[in-house]
Amino acid sequence: MISSPQEVLSRPGSITFPTNQPYLKDFTGSGGRLVRQRSGHLVFYDGQGRRLLAADPDGTPLHECEWIVDPDGSVRLARARVHLDWGHWVGITSGGMVNETTLDLSKKAGWQRIRRDDLRRLAAQSLGVPLDEVRFFYTDDDLVINTSGQATIRHRKDAFYVLDDGTFEKARFMACMGAMHWARIDFLPVVELFQSLLPGTGSATMELIRALYDDQNPTGPWPLRYRGIPTYPSEAAYRLFGAFFIPQHPSGTDPFPIFMDMPRSHEVTWLPAPDPPQRHFDPERKLCVTVHRGGIQKITVRDDPAGLPFLRPDKNGFAPCDRSVIVRNGIMILKDGEVRTELPIRSTWGVVRDTPETAHPTYPAGWRSLFRDTPPKPEPTDAFGAVLLYPADETEISEVASCPFVADHLQDCIEQQAEVRNLMARAERVLIDHWDGAITTCIALDRPRDYTVLYTRPAFAQKHAQRVWNQLATAGRLEWAHRISFARKDHYQQTAYATHYESIYQWVGFDQFTHQAKLDEMVRLLAGALTSRGLAFVVGPPALGPLLGAHRFRVIRKELVETLPSFRMHRTILPKARLIPGLTLFHVVHAP
């Protein structure tokens, strides 16, 4: 039992924001107030009644808030930190991103009569969203028309950052979302670049949103709506929101189909769930336990090299990657494939029921069987942290983070272009070389094929092997798994290229762009491994063009990656995004 506020506040990493430091020295004397919730969780409020810090019953911090008073006297959240299940911290800055667009209205007849609402109407028509949504996100301060007819449009967003040392001193941009009204929570936000979020960021952020919502609505609930320009409804978002809030539609019908219909997502209202998830950290055993409705929903082991949590099985007994947690008679049973671990439950967690009995599916092979040799064992922080990060400034996008722009585009090409689709349909053997950031996208599971994957980044390869296994398992096609092989590029490149393939995905490393001999070697390997009339997708510098021609490849299409629709879409979120100069995608066929 925590004996005093200082016992929690003085723990390393609990209080980091300068404005909160006075409470670290003398919490009660500075006007602070401590509330112990029914679950045992601790909430620390500042002298003005604003949430300062939240902790689990044993004092491990969950989130910290920094509030500031603007010159006009209004109070706003400047920054927040949320503690992830596996120990890392993520930062949130309120309005931390502002994208500006300038329009020249002076050439339009009668531009002097154009008002802010006229710009909003144009935006609503262009984006296909209701005018009220545009008004909600674009205030008068965000739309400025000067005397010479230049209109400046500002789009404000909240930004997520990876906090490598737990503070904003070494913050790395991660993702963004619609600018929240943190002092008065009034909507559920759209997260952009959500695939870049570190594991657990979504639930930890919703935990913060729900906590502030409860602080602000002590007597009567305020209905929330999912809002954004535009929204991106998904089943995952619905599940996440549904853990903390209850969805409903005025018609009384099932709200899920309406939520999934983008133009109608905002019609669904969300009211607070009576029993949101509660997290409990167990530092001694390096665990984080999520309890929901009296049962264990999830357990994360901080030093687990798999970089995955253990989840309560669904009604069919399925758990991603065959990693599940169930409760029997006060004991947690963690199952990782054939390995079972039993751990006692702590009484302070509030676990009052066993996990319902379900089927126990068996699988012919686990996700680790996708690796040719012993599966990699990356450092746990690397395993959990294997996400693609994109700079918010002009910093060049990394090699691994560049892969999805090309892979997503190729997926569209295969679906839409008959020649490419027919060539890929005939492929029985496919080589994927050095596409560590987009391996899963390159593996089509429409029918069984032999896939050889050469990787250089173990943590990313592991993440993709897990995703492929989950896709096969949910589709009931795990018997195809033996035809997929992940292998280290530095060990198996020569062996892999000694086989013939009907299709090859080849990514030339950025460090080889200026080395002519290396480029020639990659094209020579490609020529030896690709069958006659085989199709290859090669990504590298423009200098590859002449080399491909010299090795009897017919270039059927050549595209600068910066011109691809996938990258142009990325720039609508991060306008300053920049790739390595000259990055080019070649679609080539091996001439007979």
Is position 211 within any domain?
no
23 with 128, same domain: the answer is no
**CA pair distance 205, 80, nearest whole angstrom:** 10
- Amino acid type, 121: R
483 with 380, same domain: the answer is yes
Tens digits of pLDDT across the chain (592 residues): 677 899 999 998 999 999 999 999 899 999 999 999 999 999 999 999 999 999 999 999 999 999 999 888 889 999 999 999 999 999 999 998 988 888 888 888 888 888 889 888 888 887 778 888 888 888 888 888 898 889 888 889 999 999 999 999 999 999 999 999 999 999 999 999 999 999 999 999 999 999 999 999 998 899 999 999 888 999 999 999 999 999 999 999 999 999 999 989 999 999 999 999 999 999 999 999 999 999 999 999 999 999 999 999 999 999 999 999 999 999 999 999 999 999 999 998 988 899 988 888 899 999 999 999 999 999 999 999 999 999 999 999 999 999 999 999 999 999 998 888 888 989 999 999 999 999 999 999 999 999 999 999 999 999 999 999 999 999 999 999 999 999 999 999 999 999 999 999 999 999 999 999 999 999 999 999 999 999 999 999 999 999 999 999 999 999 999 999 999 999 999 999 999 999 999 999 998 7
**CA pair distance 90, 67, nearest whole angstrom:** 17
Domain boundary among 69, 89, 107: 69
Is position 200 within any domain?
no
pTM for this one? 0.94
CATH at 411: 3.40.50.150
Domain boundary among 15, 48, 69: 69
Is position 75 within any domain?
no
> Does residue 453 sit in helix, strand or coil?
strand
Asked whether 256 and 264 are in contact (CB, 8 A), the reply is no
523 with 393, same domain: the answer is yes
335 with 388, same domain: the answer is no
451 with 504, same domain: the answer is yes
**In 3D, which of 359, 315, 321, 318 has the Cα closest to residue 337?**
321
**Alpha-carbon separation of residue 206 from 63, 185, 201 (angstroms):** 11, 12, 9
| Number of residues that this document lists for the chain | 592
**In 3D, which of 478, 474, 526 has the Cα closest to residue 500?**
526
Is position 533 within any domain?
yes
Is position 183 within any domain?
no
Domain that holds residue 104: 98-154
Domain boundary among 362, 379, 407: 362
What pLDDT does 132 receive? 87
Residue 235: other Cβ atoms inside 10 A: 10
381 with 354, same domain: the answer is no
24 with 48, same domain: the answer is yes
Strands (E), 84-199: 89-104, 143-145, 150-163, 171-178, 188-189, 191-192
What pLDDT does 431 receive? 99
33 with 140, same domain: the answer is no
583 with 531, same domain: the answer is yes
Is position 93 within any domain?
no
339 with 407, same domain: the answer is no
Is position 89 within any domain?
no
DSSP 359: -
What pLDDT does 96 receive? 82
Domain count, the chain: 4
Is position 357 within any domain?
yes
331 with 386, same domain: the answer is no
Asked whether 332 and 342 are in contact (CB, 8 A), the reply is yes
387 with 417, same domain: the answer is yes
